[in-house]
Amino acid sequence: MIEKPLTPADVEFVTTLHGEEQGSFVVLMQPRGKQDVLLRAIDDVALGEFDEAVREGDEPTGELPVERALSHTLAALRATGAEAVGQVVEEHPLDLLTSVVEQTHADEVIVLTAPHFVEEFFHRDWASRARHKVGVPVLKLFSHAPDEPVRDGS
């Protein structure tokens, strides 16, 4: 489960977690919505990113639309030789995640997001919530900050 397209460092990290063993991925992309603006602003303040906290209500500029961001991530995973499929999740992400785990007989779930301190403190982040629902180990990883934002080339 991801919020943003994977950076090259993220792709390398998740595809080498189990050494030389080739993995397959079902990527569920749950973009952070408007409902999280306050929590993101608090996280930005906790990280000392005051300029980001002020801009949390602004529309993102130059970022890929969510469907293209997912396609970018899937292509990057496939380029390593891994199998990868995915979809954008708009509603009930934990229900869909549970269903995917059951249907694919997944060995583990990886939740790769930016730090969300407020949600993590109250165990309301995706990884904490998934641990109570999916029935397999849930690995929480923090995404690497991209050197440059992924932008839409068109």
pLDDT value at position 152? 43
Length of the chain as a residue count:
154
pLDDT value at position 21? 78
Helix axes 8-15, 66-79, angle to 10 degrees: 50
What is the pLDDT confidence band of residue 8, given thresholds at 50, 70 and 90? very high
All domains of the chain, ordered by start, with CATH?
Answer: 8-45+61-142 (3.40.50.620)
What is the pLDDT confidence band of residue 113, given thresholds at 50, 70 and 90? confident
The mean pLDDT of 48-76, rounded to a whole number, is 71
E strands in the chain: 24-29, 83-88, 109-113, 138-142
The mean pLDDT of 6-28, rounded to a whole number, is 89
Distance CA 109, CA 4 (A): 17
Distance CA 99, CA 133 (A): 10
What is the pLDDT confidence band of residue 132, given thresholds at 50, 70 and 90? confident
* Whether residue 127 has pLDDT greater than 70: yes
Distance CA 3, CA 150 (A): 13
For the ranges 18-27, 29-38, 94-103, 115-124, the lowest mean pLDDT is seen at 115-124
- State the pTM of this model: 0.73
* Whether residue 81 has pLDDT greater than 60: yes
The mean pLDDT of 23-33, rounded to a whole number, is 84
* Whether residue 111 has pLDDT greater than 60: yes
Q: What angle do CA 79, 11, 113 make, to 5 degrees?
A: 145
What does each C-alpha distance from 11 to 2, 17, 65, 108 come to in angstroms?
Answer: 12, 10, 19, 17
Distance CA 112, CA 134 (A): 16
